[in-house]
């Protein structure tokens, strides 16, 4: 072979080698990336070529699929009571993708999960239309209805948990939206999407306030401060005096911490201080314990970490801070921030005798042939407090409902514990405060429900905004719905 031919052969060989290398790179390295690429329309066409599996609550589907006139997408997603369930389901849109359970369990819902291979094979040989699997949730429909109805036209959120297992029973957020309006298949989807965008809608209806919004928890955090006092043996009893002067001055300052009204806070016991929500008592406890111990106690309840339900919940924050700010954080102010889910977790751990269960909202994954392919097992998340401390906190939280600021949460014949909160909002408390309530109810088999409610904004006049007035009645209706469903 002469030299020119040899060079051409080598060059052609290099071209073939480069082609094979590129082909294998595409097939084995970039395959998943290209498959999931947002501009790969074939994936979308395949996803909407068959009915999507459903999200199930109490044995009933809260989602569906309907045929469209589109030449590309044969089916689109539908939702029942979409506004009420949006914080749970999220959306699945032909145009805008998906989020929350619709996104996290997409492979089950579309039937692409590897665990559904046998079902896909059988359907292929029998000629059946391919279907996705179902996601069975832990939600309680009556509790969700009570939460959503209670919130009404207010901005706010509700999170309810079964303290014994960690099952999420209700997850409501208002204002909300109907995912059906952006599911695709109509010319109105773009307008609906723009109307939901925070830039065009200050109410931000797509924000999941129960999981993704943190607020100053206000006086509801005082139960965590009380827990820290008992766990660190600052006091041995909930009825002994706390040696708290009145007035009390924030450490390293000349600023006196105020209480709301003329209430018996001087040297008040933990029981009396929680009953009347004494800022001075709990501010001093936080200062006496110091930032490190307060932060450690908050973190035992789940603060400073994201929570996956499997939908991600933002981390609640108990900050590393200076002495005066730490005292304010001890009463749920300053840089202290919490999601409604987090405060429901606090109430749940206390109700469950000190053991905190991992919160979750997906109970089972089910194949199209109704066989269960995955079952969630409840998992302990930790033990933030001892059972002795939990019983003491239950005792004083029940006093709050029986004799204190939480009377609107009382349920005849049921033991209810709770704590109200009214958290300052805005520079120098210039905006309407947030109204909070956390609680639990006891049944014959322990405590089946713990609830956190926050009202971010409402038409209520400023002087009437208080957790006991606005949030406690909503918590009461949610707890009652759960108790009634257990009968």
pLDDT beyond 80 at 261: yes
Domain 211-362+381-486 fold is: Beta-lactamase (3.40.710)
59-87 average pLDDT score = 91
pLDDT of 88 reads 97
Strand partners, 67: 75
Residue 265 banded pLDDT, cuts 50, 70, 90: very high
Closest CA to 86 of 149, 167, 148: 148
> pLDDT of 415-428, one tens digit each?
999 999 998 754 44
Max alpha carbon distance in the chain (Å)? Answer: 107
Strands (E), 108-190: 134-137, 155-161, 168-174
pTM: 0.89
> pLDDT of 296-340, one tens digit each?
999 999 999 999 999 999 999 999 999 999 999 999 999 999 999
Residue 462 banded pLDDT, cuts 50, 70, 90: very low
8-state DSSP, 243: -
Which two tokens mark 76? 């689109």
pLDDT beyond 90 at 7: no
Catalytic residue among 173, 219, 277, 439: 219
Helices (H), 301-338: 323-329
Of 142 and 431, the structure prediction assigns the larger pLDDT to 142
Which two tokens mark 16? 């073939």
Percent of the chain with pLDDT over 90: 74
> pLDDT of 404-456, one tens digit each?
999 999 999 999 999 999 987 544 455 678 999 999 999 878 899 999 999 99
In a 13 Å sphere around the CA of 79, the CA atoms on its Cβ side amount to 22
pLDDT of 337 reads 97
| Torsion from C-alpha of 401, 474, 458, 275, nearest 10 degrees | 10
Q: Which helix (H) or strand (E) holds 441?
A: strand 431-443
pLDDT beyond 50 at 461: no
219 is catalytic: yes
Closest CA to 322 of 296, 302, 294, 303: 294
134-138, 202-206, 276-280, 483-487, range with the lowest pLDDT: 483-487
pLDDT beyond 70 at 395: yes
Domain ranges of the chain: 211-362+381-486
Tell me whether residue 204 is exposed, middle or buried, using C-beta atoms within 10 angstroms of its C-beta: 0 to 12, 13 to 18, 19 or more.
middle
pLDDT of 128 reads 67
Tell me whether residue 468 is exposed, middle or buried, using C-beta atoms within 10 angstroms of its C-beta: 0 to 12, 13 to 18, 19 or more.
buried
Of 178 and 112, the structure prediction assigns the larger pLDDT to 178
pLDDT of 25 reads 75
Residue 346 banded pLDDT, cuts 50, 70, 90: very high
């Amino acid at each position: 072979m002469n030299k020119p031919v040899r060079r051409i052969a080598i060059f052609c060989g290099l071209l073939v080698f480069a082609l094979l290398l590129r082909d294998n790179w595409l097939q084995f390295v970039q395959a998943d990336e290209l498959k999931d690429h947002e501009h790969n329309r074939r994936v979308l066409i395949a996803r909407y070529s068959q009915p999507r599996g459903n999200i199930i609550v109490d044995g009933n589907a809260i989602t569906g699929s309907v045929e469209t006139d589109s030449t590309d997408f044969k089916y689109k997603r539908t939702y029942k009571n979409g506004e009420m369930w949006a914080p749970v389901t999220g959306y699945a849109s032909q145009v805008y993708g998906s989020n929350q359970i619709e996104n996290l369990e997409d492979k089950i819902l579309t039937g692409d999960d590897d665990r559904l291979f046998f079902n896909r094979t059988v359907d292929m040989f029998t000629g059946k239309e391919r279907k996705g699997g179902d996601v069975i949730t832990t939600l309680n429909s009556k509790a969700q209805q009570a939460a959503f109805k209670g919130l009404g036209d207010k901005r706010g959120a509700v999170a309810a948990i079964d303290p014994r297992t960690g099952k999420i029973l209700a997850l409501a957020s208002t204002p909300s939206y109907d995912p059906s309006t952006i599911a695709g298949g109509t010319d109105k989807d773009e307008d609906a999407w723009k109307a939901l965008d925070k830039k065009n809608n200050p109410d931000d209806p797509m924000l999941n306030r129960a999981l993704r919004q943190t607020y100053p928890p206000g006086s509801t955090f005082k139960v965590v401060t009380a827990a820290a006092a008992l766990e660190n043996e600052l006091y041995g009893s909930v009825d002994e005096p706390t040696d708290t002067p009145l007035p009390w001055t924030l450490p390293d300052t000349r600023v006196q911490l105020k209480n709301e009204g003329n209430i018996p806070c001087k040297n008040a016991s933990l029981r009396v201080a929680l009953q009347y929500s004494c800022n001075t008592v709990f501010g001093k406890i936080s200062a006496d314990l110091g930032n490190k111990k307060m932060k450690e106690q908050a973190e035992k309840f789940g603060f400073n970490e994201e929570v996956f339900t499997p939908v991600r919940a933002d981390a609640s924050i108990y900050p590393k801070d200076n002495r005066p700010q730490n005292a304010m954080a001890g009463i749920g102010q300053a840089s202290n921030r919490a999601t409604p889910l987090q405060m429901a977790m606090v109430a749940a751990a206390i109700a469950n005798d000190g053991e905190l269960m991992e919160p979750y909202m997906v109970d089972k994954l089910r194949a199209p042939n109704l066989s269960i392919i995955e079952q969630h097992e409840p998992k302990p998340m930790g033990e933030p407090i001892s059972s002795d401390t939990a019983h003491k906190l239950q005792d004083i939280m029940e006093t709050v409902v029986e004799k204190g600021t939480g009377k609107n949460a009382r349920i005849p014949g049921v033991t209810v514990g709770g704590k109200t909160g009214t958290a300052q909002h805005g520079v120098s408390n210039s905006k309407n405060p947030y109204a909070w309530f956390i609680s639990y109810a006891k049944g014959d088999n322990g405590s089946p429900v713990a609830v956190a409610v926050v009202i971010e904004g409402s038409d209520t006049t400023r002087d009437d905004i208080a957790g006991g007035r606005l949030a406690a009645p909503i918590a009461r209706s949610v707890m009652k719905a759960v108790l009634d469903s257990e009968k």
